[in-house]
Amino acid sequence: MKVLRGSAVLSSATLTLQSAPTAVADNNRLRLFSGSANVPFSQEVARYLGMELGPMIRKRFADGELYIQIQESIRGCDVYLIQPTCHPVNDNLMELLIMIDACRRASARQITAVIPYYGYARADRKTAGRESITAKLVANLITQAGANRIVAMDLHSAQIQGYFDIPFDHVYASPVLINYLASKQLPDLVVVSPDVGGVARARAFAKKLDDAPLAIIDKRRQAHNVAEVLNVIGDVEGKTAVLVDDMIDTGGTISEGAKLLREQGARQVYACATHAVFSPPAIERLSSGIFEEVIVTNTIPVPEDHRFEQLTVLSVANLIGETIWRVHEDSSVSSMFR
């Protein structure tokens, strides 16, 4: 498995970064804290900003209840809380809510929840009777806890931004992923969406890869985490196919798509996703030999037992750090991706 830091895969052609954020490091009103979900990622963000993570006590009572106490004064400060709501989702979400509440009660001026991976995002609408829209429920919980702003990366559905009545900065990992793919100089590249719902994402991806051709896998899902692949729309014969998605959970959709692309004559198949959820049996599927490479980012920590030879992890900590700096300095975030 390869692990690449953000500086190794960012270029001025795909991401516009300003000069080193020394102003942030000198501003005593900025505070950065990390939840327990992905501490190494938070440390990378802090290094980019030239800061240290704020001190915090985190412990559990005998019955599993979580206790959090901020260990420095944050009165009148702009506080950024970094916490992806990945596995264990409920624990990490509750930890984020408690951190927000602790900062609100400590009189922080503004609280920004930095959520590299936004969990519960797949239930973003009702597709059948008597269902919960959990993406909206989580938005309500975070807002009511006291967050004033949200920073999140590659939402499962872009409309989730509309579930919040507070400012929301949606950040994309595509500059890092695209620059890495461009550096490989893959021949006869075709970008493939694993389903119809991801066409917009794949089209934007293909446009930034020198207007590479686009293909779509038509599938019908019979149940959650169960996908039936039907057909490929587009020409993939003799080409290098790059499957692009926002996340890889059990790996069923993307691995079945790769098999179909092989059957349709694709010479090589790469998988590219932002969030490495990797629920069983994802590792067995992804490491079975159908992919030349599986490229993900470090929004979610990848433990040792989830790593395999074809896996490459790219760091997006610099992107999140740059976003925090620009939000704090009231600069444009969208200009990073032009």
Look at residue 121 in the predicted model and tell me its pLDDT. Answer: 96
- Which stretches of the chain are assigned E, i.e. beta strand? 2-4, 30-34, 56-60, 66-70, 78-82, 110-115, 149-153, 168-171, 189-193, 214-223, 226-233, 240-248, 268-276, 293-297, 311-314
**pLDDT value for 221:** 62
How is residue 238 annotated by DSSP?
Answer: T
pLDDT at 197: 85
- Report pLDDT for 15: 56
Q: Where are the beta strands (DSSP E) in 101-199?
A: 110-115, 149-153, 168-171, 189-193
Give the containing element (helix H, strand E) for 43.
helix 39-49
β-sheet bridge partners, residue 70? 56
Cα-Cα end-to-end distance for the chain: 31
CA distance 15 to 319: 9
Report the alpha-carbon distance of residue 292 to residue 248 in Å, rounded: 16
Residue 86 CB-density burial (10 A; 0-12 exposed, 13-18 middle, 19+ buried)? buried
Per-residue pLDDT of the chain (338 residues; tens, 9 = 90+): 777 765 444 543 445 555 445 445 446 799 999 999 999 999 999 999 999 999 999 999 999 999 999 999 999 999 999 999 999 999 999 999 999 999 999 999 999 999 999 999 999 999 899 999 999 999 999 999 999 999 999 999 999 999 999 999 999 999 999 999 999 999 999 999 998 889 999 999 999 999 999 999 987 666 666 656 578 999 999 999 999 999 999 999 899 999 999 999 999 999 999 999 999 999 999 999 999 999 999 999 999 999 999 999 999 999 999 999 999 999 999 999 87
* 311: Cβ contacts below 8 Å, ≥ 6 apart: 1, 2, 286, 287, 293, 294, 296, 302
**Assigned token pair, 255:** 């691995």
What are the φ/ψ torsions at residue 91 (nearest 5 degrees)? -65, -45
Catalytic residue among 59, 184, 208, 219: 219
pLDDT of amino acid 224: 67
Characterize 309-334 residue by residue with b for buried, 16 or more Cβ atoms within 10 angstroms of its Cβ, and e for exposed.
Answer: ebbbbbbbbbbbbbbbbbbbeeeebe
Q: How far apart are CA 285 and CA 316, in angstroms?
A: 25
For residue 28, give both structure tokens.
């005593």
pLDDT at 9: 47
pTM: 0.90
C-alpha neighbours within 13 Å on the C-beta side of residue 329: 19
Is 208 considered catalytic here?
A: no
User: Under a CB-based contact definition with an 8 Å cutoff, are residues 149 and 169 in contact?
Assistant: yes
Q: Compute the distance between CA of residue 275 and CA of residue 28 in angstroms, rounded to an integer.
A: 33
Comparing CA positions, the residue from 5, 277, 18, 317 lying closest to residue 151 is: 317
Q: Report the distance separating Cα 320 and Cα 139, nearest Å.
A: 20
Instruction: Name the DSSP letter for residue 54.
Output: P
